[in-house]
Structure 1
Amino acid sequence: MADTLLDYETEAAHYDETRGGVPRAEAAAGAVLRLLPPGARTLLDLACGTGLVTERIAGTGLRVLGADAAHAMLRTAAGRLPGRVVRADARRLPFPDASLDAVCAVWLLHLVPYTGEIVAEAARVLRPGGVLAVTVDKDAAHDVGSDIDALLRPHRSAAAAHDLAGRGGARAAAHGLAPAGATAFTGHGQGATPRGTARRLRAGHYASWFRGDAVTTDTLAGALAALPDQDRPRADPEYRLVAHAKPVP
């Protein structure tokens, strides 16, 4: 799923190696599996990207499908999951009503402003008893308790985030989905560095939650540049994954 801040067509070539690779993907897949309903047989991975996480979910015997909007991402995913990926907008899925046991969206909702439409579409394709599992509060998971966090946290705007757990729960409830559990997993290899954070800040990667004008951005980037150990990664983030189920009549 592409967003306006990051070009996933060009990111595909080096996406996995810069996002924690296999350890991070295995942790994410394990978290998704912990939230699936008993007896689940089919799962759709929304914004599957290169299919690294999707492939690991599929290794458990589930019938797993992947969907993404970026051609380059899907080319890589198709090599991992031949015949099981499709190019699709998460708001308009090419699947019938009540046709899937589970839908997951790992690292998607924080990117887009139309999370309600994604939740509505997932609810449509889920069978009764099916589960939607999504990551929440992604940006807030980074750098918690670190010197980077101490600089950025006062400038985070909760109102601007699209994947807030509370807001997501309200959206799920509006489409008939009920809370069905939560878990967490480690974002291996995703500990931020001051230099990298400053670069991402200037590039607009944090626009979904950052409140501040160009002057504030420059000031924060300067403060990040003054931190020690510019290229030492801080602690890996702990991501949260929550599930919502479609009630059985």
Structure 2
Amino acid sequence: MLDYDVEAARYDATRGGVPRARSAARAILALVPDRTRTLLDVGCGTGLVTEELLRPDLRVFGVDASPGMARMAARRLGASLVLGNCHRLPFAEASLDAVSAVWLLHLLPDAPSVIAECARVLRPGGVFVTTVDKHAGHGMDSDVEELLAPFRVRKAYDAASRVLAVASEHGLRRVGEARFTGHGQGRSPSQTAGDVARGQYGQALALDDAQCDVLVSRLSRLPDPEVPRADPVYRLLALRKEG
């Protein structure tokens, strides 16, 4: 996994910036009820998406475990930013109207415990909104993804079927879904080759040194090496707490 304290300074610029954040925020807000007055963004990172959730009638909090990310988020969210662990959220039981988790569960082998925590802090009738199936968002029709696919570590911590099964155990029922575009996230072959060579994919790819060299070489030989492929389309699920 990436060192997010180190990554914080360049994170927004390399992840689609404001256009991607706005796209995610619009999709989240479309899935929460109009009566929502409090929302917690779990794993908020630099707070770029969280800031786009701000509305006059909606109090938005952000929580992140990375001090580097939290420092960036504090500039956007002020006192509404909390440095904390997503496995033990620093909020009381049944205290929030909505919880969001964008691009988080796919990183966590223990994602079920995070889903349980999100359910714990939700009021009855509250909604948990989360991305699922993140890696599928890039699509298998991309020539870049076709080369990456054999090396992908198939640990789908955020698989929709798994998220729905765990959510059901904690009184969360599916009430909607949405998709949004990850603007600026289409990968060019040359960019991908550089990221693979620098180890930017972390544990997402299982590669030894020889395989890494071969993959970088194959990516570099793809046509139009500087042209980004299509932006990914991400999927959100909305889950309402019963009771």
Q: Which TM-score tier does this pair reach, normalised by the shorter chain?
A: over 0.9
In the aligned structure 2, how far is the partner of 1:180 from the partner of 1:7?
A: 35
Q: Does 1:116 align with 2:109?
A: no
Counterpart of 2:216 in structure 1: which amino acid? A
Q: Is 2:184 the counterpart of 1:189?
A: yes
Gaps of 5+ in 2: none
Per the alignment, do residues 229 and 206 of structure 1 end up closer, same or farther by CA in structure 2, a change over 3 Å counting? farther
Q: Which blocks of at least 5 consecutive residues in structure 1 are unaligned? A: none
User: 1:133 aligns to what?
Assistant: 129
Deviation of 1:60 (Å): 5.3
How far, CA to CA, are the matches of 1:136 and 1:199 in structure 2? 27
Residue 94 of structure 1 corresponds to: 90
Q: CA deviation at 1:155?
A: 4.2
**1:14 and 1:154, CA in 2 relative to 1: closer, same or farther beyond 3 A?**
closer
Distance in 2 (alpha carbons) for counterparts of 1:245 and 1:33: 14
1:169 maps to what in 2? 164
Distance verdict in 2 for CA 1:200–1:171, change over 3 Å = farther
**Aligned partners of 1:68 and 1:21: how far apart in 2?**
18
Q: What aligned pairs does 1:1-249 form with structure 2 within 5 A after superposition?
A: 5-59=1-55, 61-156=57-152, 158=154, 160-202=155-197, 203=199, 205=201, 207-208=203-204, 210-211=205-206, 213-248=208-243
- Aligned pairs, number: 242
Q: How far did 1:113 drift?
A: 1.0
1:15 and 1:59 map into 2 onto residues whose CA distance is 24
Greater shift after overlay, 84-93 or 218-227? Answer: 218-227
SS at match of 1:82: helix
TM-score, normalized by length of structure 2? 0.93
1:121-143 residue CA offsets vs partner (Å, 9 max, x unmatched) = 00100000111111111122125
Contact between 1:182 and 1:242, CA under 8 Å: does it hold in 2? yes
Question: Structure 1-normalised TM-score?
Answer: 0.91
**RMSD, matched Cα:** 1.7
| Percent identity of equivalent pairs | 52
What's the CA shift for 1:198?
A: 2.6
